[in-house]
Amino acid sequence: MNKSLKHLSRNLLHGVLETLWIWRDERVAARLGWYLAVATNRMPAKYLICRRTPVDVELDAGEDELWSAHREAAKVFEETFGAVRSGELRLRELQRPAKSLMDLKVELVKRMLRHCNFCRWNCRVDRGEGAKRGTCMLDKVSRVSTYFHHLGEELPIRGLRGSGTIFFTSCNMRCGFCQNGDISKDKDNGMVVDPALLAMMMWELRVEGCHNINLVGGEPTIHLHTIVEAISLLGSVQPSRDKLVYLWMMKPDALSWRRLEPAQYLYEGELNAPILWNSNMFMSLETLEILRELVDIWLPDFKFGSNACSIKLARTPWYWETVSRNHKIIYDWGEDIVIRHLVMPNHVECCTKRVLSWISDNMPDVPVNVMDQYHPDCFADPLSPDYDPKYSEIARRPTREEILEAYRFARRLGLVFESISLEKSVFGLRP
Ligand code: SF4
């Protein structure tokens, strides 16, 4: 076997991420170091540290008291995380406390659900009762449309064994051109999952070698309560045969991937999986606080350059201030991030250039995927019976000139985008 064949077979068999050429782009590698270390099982995922961070509060205390305790415990987490990351401390040196930051997060998201403030809409409806619904139209039930090894994500994320992607239904935005409209616009287009079932899905994906657990939709934020509780159970529940029969109705690649050796997904005896938050970033500050100690890599969308465009194309007010604020917060926290920006026809000047300029001014070293794959869909698709002429300006693909102008602009700004954005080109645009 020649050297490159050996290299390929090692990657295919063991899912080794770190040998991919993309890491030779030092600017990509510099921003995704934590994620890569967890994905390759050299560091424990944040949730494993979170479970070992003690909290000093009764979980039946008032919500304000719980938030105070959360903020105190988050400081302890930060110190511990720094020590683990630098190698000063091993996970095994940390005790499992009677009550942990993980337990507190599960309790807090249940409280938030009773006056839902998961996202910027701040609907304040009691989703536990379900009598009134907010913009996302959800009660407390979460549904998953499908889950599988996603081989179409960015190279650091899909690697060679795929990104373990879980698609939740419904959304808190109303993009008229949504490319996942079948699930984002139909909250019931999926199967009901409780936290234990969701944890089993995550377990299965990681044991089969997925490099991360990719939570997406629709939008994951609106399922925060189910997801946080599932992460608290991750590794402690495994699917029985009956459960697999149910789960595999959602998994198109069931039986396509063999399971890895435990050494490749266990860290000091516990399931270790990087958590990836694949989101429109229209979440509340409280949701960001909950996620900070759970998410190992963020994959945020930054679509619109103004509220005028977000209202016109997605019926979403407060977009610019909310989404730019949330991006800046996670950047200032030092998180691992890859930003996605979808180039849309007739929106290069007002959206692409404004978004890329903002990134350049505020988080210039973060990798950006400047995406060229927009196609008219849902209400923007002139061939669909649902077509609405108010989306006529985006009822076509971007022209070659629009895409090239977006790339030229990103290059002028010095953004980290080429290796992430161009690697799928069949014409070898790989740097
Ligand atoms: S998740 Fe957002 S849209 Fe849904 S009810 Fe809560 S605040 Fe409203």
Q: What is the pLDDT of residues 216-269, one digit of tens each?
A: 999 999 999 999 999 999 999 999 999 999 999 999 999 999 999 998 899 999
Each residue's pLDDT tens digit, 321-336: 999 999 999 999 999 9
What burial class does residue 389 get, using C-beta atoms within 10 Å of its C-beta: 0-12 exposed, 13-18 middle, 19+ buried?
Answer: exposed
Q: Is 121 near ligand 1, meaning CB less than 6 Å away?
A: yes
Each residue's pLDDT tens digit, 103-131: 999 999 999 999 999 999 999 999 998 78
Q: Which residues pair with 301 in a beta bridge?
A: 340
Do the Cβ atoms of 166 and 147 come closer than 8 Å?
Answer: yes
Three-state secondary structure call for residue 373: coil
Angle 256-259-261 (CA atoms, 0-180°, nearest 5)?
A: 155
How far is the C-alpha of 300 from the C-alpha of 309, rounded, in Å? 18
How far is the C-alpha of 257 from the C-alpha of 122, rounded, in Å? 41
> Of 114, 116, 139, 168, which is best to mutate to test ligand 1, by the most ligand atoms within 8 angstroms of its C-beta?
116
Q: Which atom of ligand 1 is nearest to the CA of 116?
A: 6
pLDDT reported for residue 425: 54
Do the Cβ atoms of 210 and 218 come closer than 8 Å?
Answer: no
pLDDT reported for residue 426: 43
Strands 213-216 and 275-279: parallel
Distance between Cα 116 and ligand 1 center (Å):
6
How far is the C-alpha of 205 from the C-alpha of 120, rounded, in Å? 31
pLDDT reported for residue 289: 98
6: CB partners within 8 A, 6+ apart: none
Q: Where are the alpha helices (DSSP H) in 87-138?
A: 101-113
Answer yes or no: is pLDDT of 2 > 70: no
Each residue's pLDDT tens digit, 362-396: 999 999 999 999 999 999 999 999 999 999 999 99
Distance between Cα 395 and ligand 1 center (Å):
29
What are the b/e assignments for 109-138, b being 16+ CB within 10 Å? beebbbebbbbbbebebbbeeeeeebbbeb
Rg of the chain taking only CA atoms, in angstroms: 21
How far is the C-alpha of 241 from the C-alpha of 412, rounded, in Å? 55
35/18: higher pLDDT = 35
pLDDT reported for residue 3: 56
pLDDT reported for residue 130: 79
Q: What is the CATH number of domain 3-44+140-300?
A: 3.20.20
Q: Where are the alpha helices (DSSP H) in 151-284?
A: 155-158, 181-184, 195-207, 224-233, 241-247
Distance between Cα 8 and ligand 1 center (Å):
45
Handedness of CA 26, 31, 33, 38 (dihedral sign): negative
Q: Is 307 near ligand 1, meaning CB less than 6 Å away?
A: no
Query: What's the average model confidence in pLDDT over 278-289?
Result: 98
Q: Which residues pair with 202 in a beta bridge?
A: none
Distance between Cα 177 and ligand 1 center (Å):
21
Distance between Cα 74 and ligand 1 center (Å):
25
Q: Which residues pair with 213 in a beta bridge?
A: 164, 275
Q: Is 168 near ligand 1, meaning CB less than 6 Å away?
A: no
Query: What's the average model confidence in pLDDT over 92-110?
Result: 97
Do the Cβ atoms of 316 and 310 come closer than 8 Å?
Answer: yes
Q: Is 173 near ligand 1, meaning CB less than 6 Å away?
A: no
Q: Which atom of ligand 1 is nearest to the CA of 135?
A: 3
Each residue's pLDDT tens digit, 123-153: 999 999 878 899 999 999 999 999 999 999 9
Residue type, 54: P
Answer yes or no: is pLDDT of 80 > 80: yes
Q: Is 125 near ligand 1, meaning CB less than 6 Å away?
A: yes
Q: Where are the alpha helices (DSSP H) in 238-318?
A: 241-247, 285-292, 307-314
Whose C-alpha lies nearest to ligand 1, atom 4?
Answer: 136
Answer yes or no: is pLDDT of 21 > 70: yes
Q: Is 135 near ligand 1, meaning CB less than 6 Å away?
A: yes
Q: Which residues pair with 267 in a beta bridge?
A: 270
Closest-CA residue to 280 (of 336, 322, 237): 322
